[in-house]
Structure 1
Amino acid sequence: MNLFSILLIGIAMSTDAFAAAVGKGAAMRRPRFSEALRAGLIFGVIEAITPVIGWLLGTAASRYITAWDHWIAFAVLGLLGLHMIWNGTRPDDGAEEAPRRHGFWSLAATGLGTSIDAMAVGVSLAFLDAPIGLVAAVIGLCTLVMVTAGIMLGRVLGALAGKRAEIVGGAIMILIGAAILYEHLTGAA
């Protein structure tokens, strides 16, 4: 496996996290770069750990992981998306502001939901004798950059769209989960 292939894997594994980060950034009230970087670090670490876990599980558990990973991602992202939509449709009484930052557990749950497919990639890498440490580091770094950029882009979109941005962000998260589910059920690449 060459470095270009590893970079492509890193980019591919971070695109759904980027889309989720845009939704998270849109839901925040003017996130600062430090908050975007914090979210990027949380997502990046989770995204780097999951392929290693998958790689460690190896061939013995591969059929179980690949049989359920898409359902787990769909459920986690779907529930988070529905929660965001629910928050976006609640009347704004003026007393409640958009969060300055999302809590650790909210970011970690979203990061886990977008990284389940990376675990399945880790399982497949066990068959290829790939340098899992390098692959995991590249996936984590790509995710860090993409999520940080996504939060900052969401900041702009959130300022323009207000609470509608949270509804759109929730819908995006549901669509990501549905796309993961569709891809796995139909074998689409």
Structure 2
Amino acid sequence: MSVVYERLGELLTIALMAAALGMDAFSLGIGIGMRGVRSMEIFRISLLVALFHFVMPLLGIVAGQYAGELLGGLSKYVSGSLLVLLGGHMIWNSFFGGNERIVNYRSFFGVLLFSLSVSVDSFSVGVSLGMFHSDLLLTVIAFAVFGGIMSIMGLLLGRGVGSRLGEYGEAAGGAILLAFGLIFIF
């Protein structure tokens, strides 16, 4: 029975981390949606965000598994510290980062840049998870699904509401990652 609870705990942890990482796509999606976005653009942006949320943590997990082998017993503290730093950075950036990250989403390069910018955090989390030898396929699929869905939700909310509701979405995601980092360390 404890194996079932352990597996459920792992699934919940992966889902919460995927949601936390998707908050960046959500909050920036609101900003883009407020500027006006067509349905086909929502599909294109969200698909590319999902693809990057699949590839970046995959690369991070592979790097983390290698680093975990090198660091041995220290990998627990290193990966937890990475999550704390990443979460703190996300919180700081949401309050003091400004709005300079909005790009021209109508061009392919702009969508590519947007997708990369909201997925870079997934690489760092992937490194941390790779040190714990988590379920690779489940993790990257969850990150991709959550990243794509939260991007769609942000774009639609921004298009429909046109207010600054997503301003603190990145802070909420950062708080979740910071909490998981502290749990991993202690």
- TM-score by length of structure 1 reads 0.63
Q: Given the superposition, is the C-alpha separation of residues 82 and 108 from structure 1 closer, same or farther in structure 2, using an over 3 Å criterion? A: farther
Does residue 109 (structure 1) correspond to residue 117 (structure 2)? The answer is yes
Does residue 174 (structure 1) correspond to residue 171 (structure 2)? The answer is yes
Paired position in structure 2 for 1:67: 81
How many Å apart are 1:173 and its aligned residue?
A: 1.5
Equivalent residues in 2 for 1:80-99, closer than 5 Å: 82-84=96-98
The equivalent position to 1:37 in structure 2, one of 43, 58, 71, is 43
Q: Given the superposition, is the C-alpha separation of residues 178 and 145 from structure 1 closer, same or farther in structure 2, using an over 3 Å criterion? A: closer
- Inter-partner Cα distance in structure 2 for 1:86 and 1:146: 21
Match for 1:109: what amino acid?
S
Does residue 143 (structure 1) correspond to residue 151 (structure 2)? The answer is no
Paired position in structure 1 for 2:30: 26
How many Å apart are 1:71 and its aligned residue?
A: 0.5
Q: Which runs of 5+ in 1 are unaligned?
A: 88-97
Match for 1:112: what amino acid?
V
The equivalent position to 1:53 in structure 2, one of 54, 59, 68, is 59
How many Å apart are 1:103 and its aligned residue?
A: 4.8
Moved over 4 A (4+): 4-10, 98-103
Q: Is the 8 A contact 1:13 1:143 kept in 2?
A: no
Residue identity (%) = 16
- Inter-partner Cα distance in structure 2 for 1:115 and 1:156: 31
Q: Given the superposition, is the C-alpha separation of residues 137 and 85 from structure 1 closer, same or farther in structure 2, using an over 3 Å criterion? A: closer
Q: Is the 8 A contact 1:78 1:173 kept in 2?
A: no
How many corresponding residue pairs? 167
- Inter-partner Cα distance in structure 2 for 1:180 and 1:138: 16
- TM-score by length of structure 2 reads 0.64
- Inter-partner Cα distance in structure 1 for 2:152 and 2:131: 27
Q: Which runs of 5+ in 2 are unaligned?
A: none
Q: Is the 8 A contact 2:21 2:143 kept in 1?
A: no
How many Å apart are 1:37 and its aligned residue?
A: 2.7
